[in-house]
Chain A
Amino acid sequence: MAERTYIQAISDGLREEMRRDGRVVVLGQDVGVYGGAFKVTNGFQEEFGPWRVLDTPLSETAIVGGATGAALMGLRPVAEMQFADFISCAWDHLVTVAAKQFFRGGTPVPIVVRLPSGGGFSGGPFHSQNPESSFAHIPGLKIVCPATPEDAKGLLATSIEDPNPVLYFEHKHLYRRIKAEVPDERYTTPFGQARVHRPGDDAIVVTWGAMVHTASEAADELQKDGHEIEVLDLRTLIPWDKERVLEGVRRTSKVLVLHEDTRTGGFGGEIAATIAEEAFEDLDAPVMRIAAPDTPVPFSPPLEKAFIPQVDDVVKGLRQLVEY
């Protein structure tokens, strides 16, 4: 075990997969000589050479479509979007080609697209988004959203092994802020298994990504008043751990669904609807949702602060919930 930041854990995981599997290649803008905009692939080109760590032109379509073709020919491409926001430029190739290829042609598309996502540092409307729910709506794509260094590494290994297109959302605001012990050896973290970030029986927060940490800080506050809040980190949205969520709802009877993405059509709606369908009788309070308002991500600090759910917002929500 060694203490690693979230971003170091991603680097470690990717390097390890490239060392053990010669089919794994990395492609994207500035991933080679520069080592990636966030330095995830720093030193990779020196180690693996320019044909396994490819600096591409500024061409998201060619990167994702190209990854699909290379995967069909037996490689295991890991494509990097410089920011998750730019995945919109490759929408067609993910949604039209990669997601439907196996269903139609029976040929798996084992690609991983790494997506530095999320806000919190005035990146503005185009460097801050959390577009996971748009893709969760597309059958055929898997969605991964690690919240801790250990999961970042383990989920990346699973993503690369997975025979399907996987969107790996790495939250930029966790990159250097979150540090924890990470096993040195290789391991995989299963998809579709939620992780209890902190235990509690008075209410449950269902969340993922950076909001896991926001929820945890809020739960600290509630603990001061004697309330034990469970923070459940979904870790992957497609597939998501419905059974574990329903178990938590049955046990606590009070649930808050929290995400950084905007509210309408966010993945929280899917979770809330499932709870309403399958655990309605177990609820002691209406399902609560906290999410960003339905606006683009604003740039100016006071606006961005109002946009991204803050610890205080979650504390307020949880108080309402436990007192209901």
Chain B
Amino acid sequence: MPGLPKKLVGAVARVRATHLGTGDRCMAVREAEPAGSLQEVKEAGLDREDLLAIYRHLLITRGIEERGHILYKQGKIPGSFYTGRGNEGAAVGVGTAMGPNDVGTPLHRDMGVHVVRGVEPWRIFAQYMGREGGPTRGRDGNVHMAVPELGLHPMVSHLPAMLPVATGMALAFRIRGEKRVALGWFGEGSAARGDAHESMNLAGVRRLPIVYVCDNNQWAYSTPTYLGYPIEHVADRAAAYGFEGVVVDGTDVLAVYREAKRAIEKARAGGGPTLIECLTLRMEGHAVHDDAFYVPKDMFEQWAEQDPIERYRAWLRGQADMTDEEEDEITSAVKRILNDALERADASPLPDPAGLEKGVFASQEDLDTPHHK
């Protein structure tokens, strides 16, 4: 199976099915197939315009993080700096599958979700630089941000503390009988914490409309997967919570999209949770200070060959006849967006310390948002 990571290929050969007894709780840890032809993709709900939008989102995602990296090196970003290089396909794929009223709690490798949901890139740069225009107005830094109006809520550092929160969002939808779905992201490393277990157990018990997305980039800082969990796939655990687990090649944006779409619509229809594990490699250090000396070189080399953006570009040209003109147009549009964004962010002022103590407690007026109506 060309294009699929070795680990996944090995596993594809032996799809394990776990039967938990009752008919509708028959589980299988499924290894997803790679994306196929344009026809197949269209059947999954994407027209050609959508496909080009995905490409644009991938480029914006990487562009934001590459430029952020430069800003950091120029000393314009305080604190630390993280990117999701290698995870762009997984983030954009899931983000694209979300419905307009769905919600989620993306993490530090999931810039693509913010981009797909429509956050203005200048606000991300402003966030990086601690400016007033960032979603947290300088209160928090780096990817610890989100725009709630877009259905996203900002992560905390503590991992995977946003999973119980996403689970609670799904609980609210369930209680109110809304056809909305929550998405909760976590890394394969933080899958080790009780928050992950407790969330999935509650969601399983109540068959909540939630999709858990595991960004498995095979490293938790310097910790390899074999020191993080003793089973083959994190998604194997889904069976223990009474729902379905799927492993998908996270560098295949269309396969991720297909699996996410399927899981989201299943949840929306009352079919309960799904755990999707997106397998990638973290293509840089944990953060900029980390040279990732502990990652074997050949691992980087192997995964560099399946860069999610390159891979998708090749697919678009091969399967969807993306023309030179179309590609140029997208590339230059992205460049323009990012240049403008940087300029606008740089014009955003630093926050005024005088307002620091005002933002701790909410007032009744603060409840006057679309979320609380």
- A residues with a Cβ closer than 8 A to B are 29-30, 33-34, 37, 55-62, 82-83, 85-86, 88-89, 121-127, 293-296, 298-303, 305-307
Assess the B130–A300 pair: CB atoms within 8 A. Answer: yes
In the bound complex, what is the Cα–Cα distance between A288 and B320 (angstroms)?
71
In the complex, the chain A residue whose C-beta lies closest to that of B137 is A300
Assess the A60–B138 pair: CB atoms within 8 A. Answer: no
B80 shortest CB reach to chain A, Å? 8
* Contacts A57-B220, A83-B157 supplied; 12 other A-B pairs, CB < 8 Å: A57-B192, A57-B228, A57-B229, A59-B193, A89-B158, A125-B156, A294-B360, A295-B360, A296-B139, A301-B350, A302-B351, A305-B353
Query: Which residues of B sit under 8 angstroms from A56, Cβ to Cβ?
Result: 227
Q: B190 contacts which of A58, A83, A88, A293 (Cβ < 8 Å)?
A: A58
Query: Which residues of A sit under 8 angstroms from B351, Cβ to Cβ?
Result: 298, 300, 302-303
B9 shortest CB reach to chain A, Å? 26
Q: Give 10 nearest A-B pairs by CB, closest first.
A: A300-B138, A300-B130, A126-B157, A306-B353, A122-B78, A57-B192, A34-B222, A122-B79, A299-B141, A58-B189
- B residues with a Cβ closer than 8 A to A are 78-80, 130-131, 136, 138-142, 144, 156-159, 187, 189-190, 192-194, 220-223, 227-229, 294, 350-353, 356-357, 359-360
| CB pairs A–B below 8 angstroms (16 shown) | A30-B221, A30-B222, A57-B227, A58-B159, A58-B187, A58-B220, A59-B193, A85-B157, A86-B158, A123-B80, A125-B139, A127-B80, A293-B357, A299-B140, A300-B130, A302-B352
Query: Which residues of A sit under 8 angstroms from B189, Cβ to Cβ?
Result: 57-58
Q: A124 contacts which of B79, B221, B229 (Cβ < 8 Å)?
A: B79
A116 shortest CB reach to chain B, Å? 13
Assess the A34–B139 pair: CB atoms within 8 A. Answer: no
Query: Which residues of B sit under 8 angstroms from A300, Cβ to Cβ?
Result: 78, 130-131, 138-139, 141, 350-351
For the residues of A in contact with B, the DSSP-based class is loop
Q: Total contacts A to B, CB within 8 angstroms?
A: 124
In the bound complex, what is the Cα–Cα distance between A127 and B159 (angstroms)?
13
A57-B228, A295-B359, A299-B78 are known contacts. Are A88 and B158 too (CB-CB below 8 A)? yes
Assess the A303–B353 pair: CB atoms within 8 A. Answer: yes
Assess the B193–A122 pair: CB atoms within 8 A. Answer: no
Assess the A122–B141 pair: CB atoms within 8 A. Answer: yes
In the bound complex, what is the Cα–Cα distance between A60 and B159 (angstroms)?
10
A55-B227, A85-B158, A294-B360 are known contacts. Are A301 and B193 too (CB-CB below 8 A)? no
In the bound complex, what is the Cα–Cα distance between A106 and B71 (angstroms)?
56
In the bound complex, what is the Cα–Cα distance between A294 and B315 (angstroms)?
53
B205 shortest CB reach to chain A, Å? 21
Query: Which residues of A sit under 8 angstroms from B228, Cβ to Cβ?
Result: 57-58
Q: B158 contacts which of A122, A126, A299 (Cβ < 8 Å)?
A: A126
In the bound complex, what is the Cα–Cα distance between A293 and B19 (angstroms)?
56
A43 shortest CB reach to chain B, Å? 14
Assess the A298–B78 pair: CB atoms within 8 A. Answer: no
Q: B193 contacts which of A33, A61, A293, A299 (Cβ < 8 Å)?
A: A61
In the bound complex, what is the Cα–Cα distance between A33 and B190 (angstroms)?
19
